[in-house]
Structure formats: C-alpha cells, structure tokens
Amino acid sequence: MQSKFFVFFMLSLPLTAQAQTKPRCDGERLSTADEGFCLATEYDQASKLLSGKIRQLLELAASADTGFSDPKYVKERRAAFVQAIRESQNSWRRLVEAECSVLVVGSFGIGNGGENAAVQCKIDRTYERIGHLSKTEAYRWLWP
C-alpha cells in the first residue's frame, strides 16, 4: 500500500510544482494580490507578443519597396516609414494609459481593485492592437 501511495505522490509532484508557478487568472476567486500577480504575468506575455509584431513591422518597413529607384530617396522613405511606425506605437501606448486610467477612475475611484482593472484594460487593449495589426486590411502588406 505504501508503494502505491509513493508512486502516486511522486507522479503528482511535477503537476503541483507547475500549478504553483503558473498564474491562474481563469475566473477563480483570487485575492487582490494574487489576481494582480496573474494579471501582471498575462500583461507581460501580451506585451511581448505586441513587441514581436512591432519588430516585424519595423523590419518590413526598413526593407520596404518604396517604388523609387534613387537609393538616397529609398533610404529616406524607409527611415520615415520606420519613424512613423515608432511614433504610432508610442501614441498608442499613451492612448491606452489615458483610456485605462479614465475607466479605472470612473469605475473604482481610488478604491480597492482599481490597479488590477487598469492592468486588465491594458491587456485587452494590447490584444486588440495585435489583432488590428494582424487582421486589418490596411496592414495587409504585412501578412504572409
């Protein structure tokens, strides 16, 4: 009997350890602090995905066919394209910060849960941005 328990115990160890390190924000009732940890981890993952999409955009812009043959003009147009993408992303980040701040203040004031709501707002907007860059017709030239 002891050996069966030992085998069961040993087989369950990796699952237990994994469950403790992986955030669980899937609708379970969590403390505000635990929810904050989960949301921060999820936001980090979403941000990395968006950063990858922006890097892809910048790489494509740096080598884009500008339709011009003069090397100097091509170089200038590509640099302008890269700069426009960076400015667009920086403007988007400022918009998200402002939008999420307004939503939180309007919903929570300065009460408990506002910070987590702000992070959830940023997660939602980040995935929307990724979707926009991935599926919007204006960015069709990016698609494989």
CA 130 from centroid of its chain's CA atoms: 8
The 10s digit of each residue's pLDDT in 114-137 is: 788 889 999 999 999 999 888 877
- E strand segments, the chain: none
- Which of 5-19, 54-68, 107-121, 130-144 has the lowest average pLDDT? 5-19
Phi, psi of 30 (to 5 degrees): -115, 155
**Of the candidates 98, 102, 96, which has an alpha carbon nearest to the alpha carbon of residue 128?**
96
CA torsion sign, 48 to 52 to 57 to 59? positive
Name the token pair of 19. Answer: 């469950």
pLDDT reading at 18 higher than 50: no
119 Cβ neighbours under 8 A, 6+ residues apart = 36, 39, 40, 43
Domains of the chain listed by start with CATH number? 31-142 (1.20.1270)
Q: What is the pTM of this model?
A: 0.71
User: Does 22 have pLDDT greater than 60?
Assistant: no
**What does the DSSP assignment read for 45-76?**
HHHHHHHHHHHHHHHHHHT---S---HHHHHH
